[in-house]
Amino acid sequence: MNPMEDKLRWLEKAGDADQEAPQELHGLLAEFETPEALLEACTKVRDAGYKKWDALTPFPVHGIDEAMGIRMTILPWLSLGAGLTGLMIAFALQIFTNGIDYKFLISGKPFISVPANIPVAFELTVLLAAFTTFFGMMILNFLPELFHPLFRAKRFPRMTADRFGIYIESKDPLFNRQQAELMFSRLGASALEPVLSPTKRAPLPGVIHGVGLTLTLVALIPVALAVKSRFSKSDQPRIHIIQDMDFQEKYKTQTAHPLLYQGAASMQPVAGTIRRGDLREDGHLYRGMAGDEFARGFPMALTQEMLVRGKQRFSIYCAVCHGATGYGDGLVAQRAEALAEGTWVPPLSLHEAVVLDQAEGQIFNTITHGIRTMKPYGSQIDVQDRWAIVAYVRALQRSQRATLTDVPPDVRAQLSQ
Ligand code: HEC
């Protein structure tokens, strides 16, 4: 079926609904056949002094603004005003906050610095100008306008195809139906149609209700799915739309492999071989052991540098719990005690008899593998540093129970003088 006919039929039905009640005239529509006739008529309507009227054309007609007497709108001035307001707000805000209220030196720039303020000023200028232009345009044009009585005029649809029109609203102070009709027929209008104000809304075609309802329901599906997955559990992997290289054809460790001779994806080292640099024969150095016992003493000569290094590593790794002096009063321990939560075990004081009596190798072993609730540090602290820490722990212990004989003889000699 021809869509235009369809539309006309609907309009007629709508018109029938209107006929039940007496209606007011909304305006007068005049139809013209050519753009030239329209332009000519527009000039006359303009000169006659009408204000509430409009021209209807299916395509832009050159010169129509002038023929209709359309002047520039005030919108550009509104945009300019809004832009300048944004500019001033931005500068005022930045100068006040950074230059007056709370002076804060940034990279040695002056407190009031125009170049530094430009990005914000630019953004705010554009923001206010754009919003004012957009909403100003809508407001000045009374948009959005979802319905206009003209939509029901029988001749209106052709003015979107191959006819031209002029519509004068009855609200215009000059409006007089007889005079207007006379004027239009003199100007060569091919048809005239009075347009009535709607008193009663034409019923919407049922299909629109159907489509609206369907779209609303469909739009709820993603929300429903999101809510469902939020409150339910699934043993399926989650939907992974962009896979990148997350999933590849590959053999993972500890899985079977059909090609390799051992039948496993991870190959075993050849029996009796050791990776270069992995030979750790020295039990004292690497494990703190002498045979089956913890080794006493150090596997290397003690030096001043080693103690300095040990002190530094101790403050990094151990002091948080054991405290700078080793009494078990580090910040973590203090905080945990203050919170008194869960099953916190206080770090041992390194001046307890158990630790004092331990072999150096055992302290080394505690650092490497941890002990009971203390975690291992072997993967973070290398062997040399672990021994340096042990040396420093010894120094700490000795510092708390020093006797006169610990004072070096020359210092002692000075003191006794
Ligand atoms: C996160 C806190 C924490 C850190 C860090 C920490 N420790 Fe401990 N340490 C503990 C706790 C807790 C215990 C007591 C463990 C227990 O009794 O369950 C402990 C016990 C010890 C003991 C006594 C072991 C024994 O035989 O009873 C030594 C020695 C020790 N730590 C040394 C160190 C050294 C050296 C470092 C630095 C490398 C260190 N700790 C870092 C919490 C810590």
For 229, the token pair is: 């997955």
Question: How far is it, in rounded angstroms, from Cα 279 to Cα 300?
Answer: 18
* Closest C-alpha residue for ligand 1 atom 41: 318
Atom of ligand 1 nearest to the CA of 358: 26
* Closest C-alpha residue for ligand 1 atom 21: 348
Q: Report which residue type is found at 167.
A: Y
The answer to whether 390 and 285 are in contact (CB under 8 A) is: no
pLDDT in tens, 84-108: 999 999 999 999 998 899 988 888 8
Question: Which residues make Cβ contacts (< 8 Å) with residue 28, sequence separation at least 6?
Answer: 167, 168, 170, 175, 177, 180, 181, 184, 192, 193, 194, 195
pLDDT at residue 221 in the model:
96
Identify which of 350, 354, 371 to mutate to test ligand 1's pocket (most ligand atoms within 8 A of the CB): 371
* Closest C-alpha residue for ligand 1 atom 10: 347
Identify which of 315, 335, 374 to mutate to test ligand 1's pocket (most ligand atoms within 8 A of the CB): 374
* Closest C-alpha residue for ligand 1 atom 39: 318
pLDDT in tens, 63-88: 999 999 998 899 999 999 999 999 99
For 23, the token pair is: 């209606």
pLDDT in tens, 275-327: 888 888 888 999 999 888 999 999 999 999 999 999 999 999 999 999 999 99
Question: How far is it, in rounded angstroms, from Cα 336 to Cα 333?
Answer: 5
The answer to whether 152 and 11 are in contact (CB under 8 A) is: yes
CB count within 10 Å of CB 284 equals 20
Residue 374 Cα to ligand 1 midpoint, Å, equals 5
Distance of CA 40 to the CA centre of its chain: 57
Between the two ends of the chain, the Cα-to-Cα distance in Å is 125
Question: How far is it, in rounded angstroms, from Cα 372 to Cα 386?
Answer: 19
Question: How far is it, in rounded angstroms, from Cα 190 to Cα 186?
Answer: 10
User: pLDDT under 50 in the chain at which residues?
Assistant: 1, 18
